[in-house]
Amino acid sequence: MNDSHRHGCNGRTAAQTPSDPHAAGDPAALRDRIAQAVRDVRATTPLAQSFTNFVTINLVANAQLAAGGTAAMSFLPDDVIDTSAISGADYINVGTLLPFYKEALPQIARAFHQSGHPWVLDPVAAGIGATRTAILTAFKDYPPTIIRGNASEVIALCDMWGLGRQDDGVSGDEHPSTRPAGVESVDDVESATDAARRLARHMAPLSPGGQAAVAVSGKVDLVTDGDRIYRLPGGSALMSKITGAGCSLGGVTATYLAVAEPLTATLAASLLYNRAGEIAERLSDGPGSFQVHLLDALWNLTPEQVAASEIVVAR
């Protein structure tokens, strides 16, 4: 853990300089990779398997199909591990837990780790309930390739994995994640910047290909590979008025992870969602029609439209 990150999971770090769109080395190359990921999913309909909550499981599958992939959902370790041999990436969401998940989920994460299988974690409601805490804690040693959550969840997971609390001198008051937040974030996206970076840096060396990414969803989404910070403006406020916008974004991130490396997959999925949300908001009369138009827009957006999105890059 280097000095510039000693401020703890929700602290601001010295490394957060003003945004610099030229810092990413070659933004054009990044856009090409994003467009290619969108194109590859449409061309190859990759399978991404999900172990996800019961509330939004249908939307996760429908969003993966609308993005151009295919979907399979399973909960039994034998089933999940068998299917992972033919899935390009997996998605695990800890939203609605059943008792047997306490053993099943760590077993599955360990199997993915051993086979080098990439997966996306959605740490829904991190910090609430002893069972969820036990499961999420167990993931530390067999971590996902990508995490997608809201700010409170990302901060809570960073704390849970002990990535920034040991000797950083940050008092409890500065850790809003100690207030349980339910499934809604009580923290804003920016407050999770450092936690997101610490998580990505922990995950990368343990991940297939040595790369990882963390996405924090919110008003302006934030994505990091542990090094640069990418801010993605736009999207729609109606996203929080349907259940599963975040979960299905996580599922679609797994779909892209089946064809691209973690940073590109995370950016492509988040950008696709922001653009689709804007289109759906314009066409809808409320959250019912918003969800219908969101799925249609995921289906109709072109690779070029997704890749042309504004991306603000900072170190």
> Which residues make up the interface to a second copy (CB under 8 A)?
47, 49, 53-59, 61-62, 65-66, 70-76, 78-79, 82-83, 85-87, 95-100, 125, 128-132, 180-184, 240-244, 284-289, 291-300
Distance of CA 199 to the CA centre of its chain: 12
Report the alpha-carbon distance of residue 243 to residue 104 in Å, rounded.
25
Say whether 217 counts as a known binding-site residue.
Answer: yes
Say whether 73 counts as a known binding-site residue.
Answer: yes
Of 231 and 293, which has the nearer Cβ to a second copy?
A: 293
Q: How far is the CB of 81 from a second copy (least distance, A)?
A: 9
Of 65 and 220, which has the nearer Cβ to a second copy?
A: 65
CB 143 within 8 A of CB 202: yes
Q: How far is the CB of 242 from a second copy (least distance, A)?
A: 6
Q: Which of 287, 294, 303 is nearest to 235 (CA)?
A: 294
Q: How far is the CB of 117 from a second copy (least distance, A)?
A: 15
Of 84 and 264, which has the nearer Cβ to a second copy?
A: 84
Beta bridge partners of 221: 232
Other beta carbons within 10 angstroms of residue 165's beta carbon come to: 16
Q: Which of 38, 76, 100 is nearest to 256 (CA)?
A: 38
Say whether 185 counts as a known binding-site residue.
Answer: no
b/e string for 125-144 if b means 16 or more Cβ within 10 A?
A: bbbeeeebeebbebbbebbb
Q: How far is the CB of 72 from a second copy (least distance, A)?
A: 5
Of 65 and 312, which has the nearer Cβ to a second copy?
A: 65
Of 37 and 242, which has the nearer Cβ to a second copy?
A: 242
CB 276 within 8 A of CB 42: no
Q: How far is the CB of 19 from a second copy (least distance, A)?
A: 31
Sequence ranges of the binding site for ATP: 148, 217
